[in-house]
Amino acid sequence: MARPYWSGQIKISLVSFGVKLFAATEARSEIHFHLIDRNTGERVKHQNVPSSAIESAPGEAAEPVETSDIVKGYEYARGRYVTIEPEEIAHLRVPSRHTMEVTQFVDESAIDPEFFEKPYFVVPEDDAQTESFLTVRKALIDTKKVALSRIAFAGREHVVAIAPAGTDAHPGLMAYTMRFAAEIRDPAEYFHPIKKLPISADSLSLARELIQRKAAKFDPSKFVDGYEVALKELVEAKLKHAPIPKDELPARPRGKVINLMDALRKSVSSGAKEEKQKEIPKHTARKSESRQGPTLVKGVRATKSATKKRKTA
């Protein structure tokens, strides 16, 4: 198991128990790039150098500053800084660095999705904390509530939502760091220019039917990073000195603009055809297969047996 990202207490009034937070996500990209000098093919590395050295002799290599000599600085006037030592930051008085004190509970549906930022798994710190942990988890499930608190790590304090997760066999909690209201842009600025038009009842009915036909249980394993796939294709093409695949802009429809009702009808109709094809019984599929010839796998086998017969003849 990975090392915990944060350890501390969850406090609800006079009830408190120790927990550990683990990052629930990880980067899985298999394509990693380095910065390369186009002329020499050498890898380019960044170094921390004084700005004065670059300004006085921009064409010359400057002596890098040792990592131990680099501190944070706040510019309080142009070119003037107050420096902050790492130990001073480490000893900042922020209670939420050690304790997530729950300030309120809200309905699960009360938080808009745009406020959620990053998920973390929450587990009891040890066996002694498990009873309190499970009791609070079950209470959240029964009341359909989410706990709101604050947590400080990675150089800032976050609002955090604590929600029940897992199953009865594998119970757990999730902590979601959240964005502050000031970080969310005003949606009215973007939605205001949208014209208010009447919606046709027939169009709405078809749109609902289209949604119902394409409705399915969410399966995250069905989604892959298309950008990552395209990068792999690019790298493989370069390694094999093959033609590089290029993006093609979708062709814009020319002439008459498709009517919304027509587009919806065609979409629903094509969806109905797909469903009928899926519902074809297996025995019917076998009959049609026997009429049309064998499948690819059977075709390969048939070809092999035919070849053997020719050789024997």
Sequence spans of domains, the chain: 1-44+64-193, 197-211+258-277, 282-312
Q: Which residue has the higher pLDDT, 51 or 209?
A: 209
pLDDT band with cut points at 50, 70 and 90 for residue 247: confident
In CATH, the number for domain 1-44+64-193 is: 2.40.290.10
- The conformation of residue 180, written as its DSSP 8-state character, comes to -
For residue 231, the one-letter residue type is L
For residue 105, the one-letter residue type is F
Cβ-based neighbour number of residue 151 at 10 Å: 25
Rounded CA-CA distance 139/12 in Å is 12
Residue 133, Cα to own-chain centre: how many angstroms?
28
Kindly tell me if the per-residue pLDDT of 210 is higher than 80: yes
Strand segments (E) across the chain: 6-12, 15-23, 72-77, 80-84, 99-101, 104-107, 116-124, 145-153, 156-166, 171-178
Residue 305's pLDDT is 42
Give the predicted TM-score (pTM) of the model. Answer: 0.73
Residue 96, CA distances (Å) to 45, 156, 162 in order: 37, 10, 14
Nearest to 116 by CA among 128, 108, 105, 104: 108
Residue 280's pLDDT is 55
Looking at residues 213-228, what average pLDDT do you find?
89
Looking at residues 247-254, what average pLDDT do you find?
71
Kindly tell me if the per-residue pLDDT of 298 is higher than 60: no
User: Parallel, antiparallel, or unpaired: how do β-strands 99-101 and 6-12 relate?
Assistant: parallel
Can you tell me whether residue 251 is helix, strand or coil?
A: coil
Tell me the percentage of the chain whose pLDDT exceeds 70.
83
**CB 84 within 8 Å of CB 92:** no
Residue 299's pLDDT is 35
Structure tokens at 196: 């208010």
Residue appearing with tokens 């409705």: 215
Report the run of H or E that residue 265 belongs to, with start and end.
helix 260-278
